């Protein structure tokens, strides 16, 4: 069995960061959000690979959670319009993927509220298949 560096968490994070930064949000982060959120930000995207990446010899597989954050409306309600834009941008990014090492599809989406930041978020769960096309 040949070592497949494409299964390294850091390589997957780099791939997803490149796919979503600017396409989904200019404020895309990997692993954790920054401790300081600038007042003029209206959205953020967090790439979370906290689940296992499985090595199945010929390929790898795993899950990624993409946390989409939308700053609430002035009255504190969820900014559904901004959230819809973020979710649509995720789909556009997935469809535009040309990297033959990674195949991604949406699995599920659910909603949360980050009480620490006081922002609404939707979490998009992605299935990732990892190939070794760099041989």
| Residue 22 counted as domain residue | yes
Which of 38, 66, 62 has its CA nearest to residue 51? 62
- CATH number for the domain that contains residue 70: 3.30.2000.10
| Residue 38 counted as domain residue | yes
Give pLDDT, residue 134: 62
| Residue 29 counted as domain residue | yes
| Residue 65 counted as domain residue | yes
**From residue 35, how far is each of 16, 69, 117 by CA, in Å?**
21, 15, 10
| Residue 51 counted as domain residue | yes
Per-residue pLDDT of the chain (135 residues; tens, 9 = 90+): 577 889 899 999 999 999 999 999 999 999 999 999 999 999 999 999 998 888 887 789 999 999 999 999 999 999 999 999 999 999 999 999 999 999 999 999 999 999 999 999 999 999 999 998 765
- The structural domain count of the chain equals 1
The domain containing residue 70 runs over which residues? Answer: 5-130
Give pLDDT, residue 121: 97
From CA 97, how far away is CA 100, in angstroms rounded?
Answer: 8
| Residue 135 counted as domain residue | no
Q: Are strands 102-114 and 60-70 parallel, antiparallel or unpaired?
A: unpaired
From CA 42, how far away is CA 68, in angstroms rounded?
Answer: 11
Which of 12, 20, 18, 8 has its CA nearest to residue 124? 20
Give pLDDT, residue 114: 95
Using a 10 angstrom Cβ sphere, with 0-12 exposed, 13-18 middle and 19 or more buried, the burial of residue 115 is exposed
Give pLDDT, residue 1: 59
| Residue 110 counted as domain residue | yes
């Amino acid at each position: 069995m040949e070592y497949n560096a494409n299964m390294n968490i850091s390589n997957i994070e780099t791939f997803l960061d490149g796919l979503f930064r600017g396409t989904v949000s200019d404020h895309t982060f990997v692993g954790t959000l920054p401790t300081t959120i600038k007042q003029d930000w209206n959205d953020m995207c967090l790439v979370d690979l906290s689940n296992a990446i499985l090595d199945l010899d010929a390929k790898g597989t795993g899950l990624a959670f993409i946390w989409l954050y939308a700053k609430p409306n002035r009255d504190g309600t969820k900014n559904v319009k901004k959230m819809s834009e973020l979710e649509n941008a995720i789909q556009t990014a997935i469809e535009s993927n040309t990297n033959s090492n990674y195949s991604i599809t949406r699995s599920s989406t659910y909603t949360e509220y980050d009480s620490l930041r006081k922002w609404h978020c939707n979490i998009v769960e992605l299935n990732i298949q990892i190939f070794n096309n760099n041989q």
